[in-house]
Each structure stands twice: as C-alpha cells, then as structure tokens.
Amino acid sequence: MPAEDPKKKDFETVYKEIESAVRDIEEGKLSLSESMALYEETMKKIQSSKKMLRKMESRIEEISNPS
C-alpha cells in the first residue's frame, strides 16, 4: 500500500506521524531495512511540513502587512 500523500494532511497530523516515526526508530525495534524505509518516508514528511510552514508564514505576512 503506497504511503498517503502528506500534502493532503494537515500540519498537526503530519507532525504527530513524524514524532511517532522518530520514536519507533529510536526504540530500535525495527529491522535496519524497516528503519531506513521509515526514515526516508519521514524525511519526505518533514520537507512537506516545512513547505506548509513557509506557506503559513507567507499568509501571516500578507495579513499583517496588507498593501
């Protein structure tokens, strides 16, 4: 089953998924290949989250400084 597109989720949901993945990796209960796959997926979510935050920051700037 392909991973769900993080762009279609809200920031809070993606953040919780990132926290969960970090916890799973740190606990060391996953195989190396499972950890790598989860790490790669999580890095994509982090990049998506950064884009979401930049968009929110831009929107705040627009609202705060109307032309």
Greater confidence, 22 or 4?
A: 22
Amino acid identity, residue 18?
I
The whole model's pTM is what?
0.78
Q: Domain boundaries in the chain?
A: 10-61
* 53 within 8 A of 11, measured Cβ to Cβ: yes
Q: Which two tokens stand for residue 8?
A: 């279609």
Select from 1, 2, 3, 64 the least CA-distant residue to 48: 3
Q: How confident is the model at residue 61 (pLDDT cuts 50, 70, 90)?
A: very high
For residue 2, CA distances in Å to 5, 41, 55 come to: 9, 11, 26
Q: Is 80 exceeded by the pLDDT of residue 52?
A: yes
